[in-house]
Amino acid sequence: MSYDLKLKEMNDSKKQNIDEVVLMKGNEAIAHAAVRCGCDGYFGYPITPQSEIMETLMELEPWNTTGMVVLQVESETSSINMVYGAAGCGKKSMTSSSSPGVSLMQEGISYIACGELPCLIVNVMRGGPGLGTIQPSQADYFQSVKGGGHGDYKLITLAPASVQEMADFTVLGFDLAFKYNTPALLLADGVIGQMMEKVVLPPFQPRLTDEEIAKRSPWATVGKPATRKPNIITTLSLEAEEMETINLRLQAKYREIEKNEVLFEEYDCEDAEYLVVAFGTSARVSQKAVEMARAEGIKAGLLRPITLYPFPTNAISNYADKVKGILTVEMSAGQMVEDVRLAVNGRVPVEFYGRLGGIVPSPDEVLNALKTKLV
């Protein structure tokens, strides 16, 4: 779906007024949106550049207003397993971290995906590998979009490019997670987490009662009522045929997600002879580069993937017969570029430009890459 249509749906559902406009960091917007959308529990561990999410939740004290649980636990491994337990009870649960911390969560994320449980995971990326730097990066694309942990699974992955989208995609991430009973990932970089912009916060949604949860999520483990047996959630199977059945069900679900939930945004693409593909902060930089290219008479356009999974493969493929070349821009050594090349299947040249280790490319650099590599 075109992002313009999806954005209209989201804005129509808000019915907000100008009094709701506030100035805050992207990380803070996630925290406020989580409280407002009826999140039941946040479990996390501090790590730069996403620590403001938990700090803001602690300042808001939602346990006194909405009843939301906010808990700083001893490690990222503990946080994802607490999310696993809460999700198994049908609760709206989430965690957040940055790159090394999300690495520690991979086993738990794989369990949650196999258990077909909804939750929200936030990764505000920093430079790596290893402990790396606290500066922004986009080098977790493989880890996030391709699953990251063991087994054949994928995560619905949303890539915000503004503080407003940090708030909007927190709500959307939960909605998609519960629509498909699967983990959703909000994949931002450190710039989007730390920058301050105006944001319109979502309206308050009440947290569901246990009775409402039982109706929405009949699979949930909610104790042992006298009227029915408790549900048992497990990812263990000792029979190969049974495990294959589980995997086939997951793959069918992913095909459905790929059919219905693709989101992307196009900028100056109507007559474009050259296409730039970028997400997050790289997309903001690339939009300026496209404007500069246009000023020099170069017909460039930008396609910004918003769902990194499902990836806008068909949308990019359609440009292969319209443009002379495609440039992908990333804050990494080149990860998304592989999906762009798969989408066009050799029908048009695909070049790459990236900066590593936490350096954000400039519009001048992107324009120069476009001119030297393609034009």
For position 319, which CATH number holds? 3.40.50.920
Res. 79: pLDDT tops 60: yes
Per-residue model confidence (pLDDT) at position 147: 82
Angle at 29 between CA 276 and CA 124, to 5 degrees: 55
Domain boundary at 193, 211, 229, which?
211
What's the total number of domains in the chain?
Answer: 2
Q: Which two tokens stand for residue 25?
A: 């960091």
Q: Tell me what the mean pLDDT of segment 281-306 comes to.
A: 98
User: Do residue 82 and residue 206 come from a single domain?
Assistant: yes
User: Do residue 20 and residue 105 come from a single domain?
Assistant: yes
Tell me the pTM.
Answer: 0.93
Phi, psi torsion values for 186, nearest 5 degrees: -100, 110
Res. 243: pLDDT tops 90: yes
Query: How many Å apart are CA 347 and CA 244, to the nearest integer?
Result: 36
Indicate the SS3 state at residue 41.
Answer: strand
Domain membership flag for residue 230: no
Do 215 and 209 touch, CB atoms closer than 8 A?
no
Domain membership flag for residue 273: yes
User: Do residue 39 and residue 168 come from a single domain?
Assistant: yes
Per-residue model confidence (pLDDT) at position 19: 55
Instruction: For 310-353, write each residue's pLDDT tens digit.
Output: 999 999 999 999 999 999 999 999 999 999 999 999 999 999 99
Res. 9: pLDDT tops 90: no
Residue-level length of the chain: 375
Domain membership flag for residue 295: yes
| Least confident span in 102-116, 133-147, 208-222 | 208-222
> What's the whole-number average pLDDT of the chain?
93
The residues pairing with 254 across neighbouring beta strands, listed in sequence order, are none
Output the furthest CA–CA distance in the chain (Å, rounded): 73
Res. 246: pLDDT tops 80: yes
User: Do residue 175 and residue 65 come from a single domain?
Assistant: yes
Banded model confidence at residue 365, pLDDT cuts 50, 70, 90: very high
Share of the chain above pLDDT 90, in %: 85
Q: Tell me what the mean pLDDT of segment 47-53 comes to.
A: 97
Per-residue model confidence (pLDDT) at position 58: 97
Banded model confidence at residue 132, pLDDT cuts 50, 70, 90: very high
Per-residue model confidence (pLDDT) at position 20: 77
Res. 89: pLDDT tops 70: yes
Res. 227: pLDDT tops 60: no
Domain membership flag for residue 303: yes
Q: Which two tokens stand for residue 96?
A: 């957040």
Per-residue model confidence (pLDDT) at position 234: 86
More confident residue, 233 or 6: 233
Parent domain of 297: 265-373
Domain membership flag for residue 218: no
User: Do residue 47 and residue 189 come from a single domain?
Assistant: yes
Per-residue model confidence (pLDDT) at position 145: 87
Task: Please name which of 148, 179, 151, 147 lies closest in space to residue 236, comparing C-alpha atoms.
Answer: 151
Domain membership flag for residue 364: yes
Q: Tell me what the mean pLDDT of segment 94-110 comes to.
A: 97
Domain membership flag for residue 253: no
Domain boundary at 211, 234, 255, which?
211
User: Do residue 100 and residue 188 come from a single domain?
Assistant: yes
Helices vs strands, H then E, count in the chain: 15, 14
Domain boundary at 211, 228, 249, which?
211
User: Do residue 40 and residue 156 come from a single domain?
Assistant: yes
Instruction: For 164-214, write each residue's pLDDT tens digit.
Output: 999 999 999 999 999 999 999 999 999 999 999 999 999 999 989 888 998
Query: How many Å apart are CA 232 and CA 223, to the nearest integer?
Result: 10
